[in-house]
């Protein structure tokens, strides 16, 4: 298995270093206790006004929920998601429970819950791969997602698998170097775009 840990410029928490988005998963089922802890982590994510606008639909390979999630995916994602033991869709609630108005931060909060989920999964020896490549309207239909809610992203969770089972083009991606912008490009002081001297 190739080591895809982040090559960081400064030392960060090893959970953050270890997380990456594989496409080859092992068929091994995920233990229920681990899944409970993973979604407990999402539960304790922060959100604007504590609105907790996240909802997760999850299915195991072989069940009806998994099959429906799979059906919503773009072809490219179907190529590799077939190796995953668990798939999910994250649905966000657009309106505030308190007054019914649009919650500007709902997608931001859904993303934070996904991050919490990912790091707990990493802690459990698992990997998460999030996906924007799926048909949101199909997900709405197949899962009867009501108005006022939106399917925002799909994901898989599983133990890492052997990349040799993947299509050759995907194997290449699995071996590719991971890259990031430098912090100079996104941490600013003074004006937007001006590199901060604080770090």
Ligand X SMILES: Cc1cc2nc3c(=O)[nH]c(=O)nc-3n(C[C@H](O)[C@H](O)[C@H](O)COP(=O)(O)O)c2cc1C
Q: Establish if 136 lies at the interface with ligand X (CB under 6 A).
A: no
Binding window for ligand X (CB under 6 A); candidates: 60-68, 100-108, 124-132, 141-149: 124-132
Footprint of ligand X on 62-121 (CB under 6 A) = 77
CB of 107 to ligand X, least distance (A): 10
Closer CB to ligand X, 52 or 153, in the complex? 153
CB of 140 to ligand X, least distance (A): 18
Query: Contact with ligand X (CB under 6 A): which of 178, 186, 189, 196?
Result: 178
Query: Contact with ligand X (CB under 6 A): which of 46, 125, 132, 148?
Result: 132
- Which DSSP string do the residues of the chain spell out, in sequence order? --------SS---HHHHH----S-B--PPPPHHHHHHHHHHHHT---GGG---EEEEEEETTSHHHHHHHHHB-HHHHHHHTT-SEEEEEEEE-B-TTTS-B-TTHHHHHHHHHHHHHHHHHHTT-EEEEE--B-HHHHHHHHTPPTTEEEEEEEEEE-B--GGGS-HHHHHHHHSPP----GGGT-BSSSTT-B-S--
Closer CB to ligand X, 19 or 68, in the complex? 19
CB of 46 to ligand X, least distance (A): 18
Q: Which residue is nearest to ligand X (CB)?
A: 133
CB of 15 to ligand X, least distance (A): 13
Residue linked to tokens 């996904």: 114
Which residues in this chain contact ligand X in the complex, by CB under 6 A?
20-21, 77, 130-133, 153, 178
């Amino acid at each position: 298995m190739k080591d895809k840990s982040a090559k960081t410029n400064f030392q960060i928490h090893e959970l953050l270093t270890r997380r990456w988005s594989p496409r080859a998963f092992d068929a091994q089922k995920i233990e229920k206790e681990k899944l409970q802890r993973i979604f407990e982590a999402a539960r304790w994510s922060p959100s604007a006004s504590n609105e907790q606008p996240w909802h997760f639909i999850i299915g195991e390979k072989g069940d009806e929920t998994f099959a429906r999630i799979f059906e919503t995916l773009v072809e490219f994602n179907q190529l590799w998601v077939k190796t995953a033991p668990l798939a999910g869709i994250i649905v966000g609630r657009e309106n505030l429970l308190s007054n019914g108005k649009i919650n500007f931060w709902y997608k931001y909060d859904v993303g934070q819950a996904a991050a919490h989920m990912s790091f707990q999964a990493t802690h459990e020896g698992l990997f998460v791969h999030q996906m924007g490549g799926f048909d949101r309207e199909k997900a709405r239909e197949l899962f009867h997602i009501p108005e006022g809610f939106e399917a925002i992203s799909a994901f898989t969770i599983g133990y890492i698998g052997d990349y040799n089972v993947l299509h050759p083009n995907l194997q290449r991606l699995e071996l590719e170097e991971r890259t990031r912008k430098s912090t100079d490009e996104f941490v600013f002081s003074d004006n937007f775009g001006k590199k901060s001297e604080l770090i």
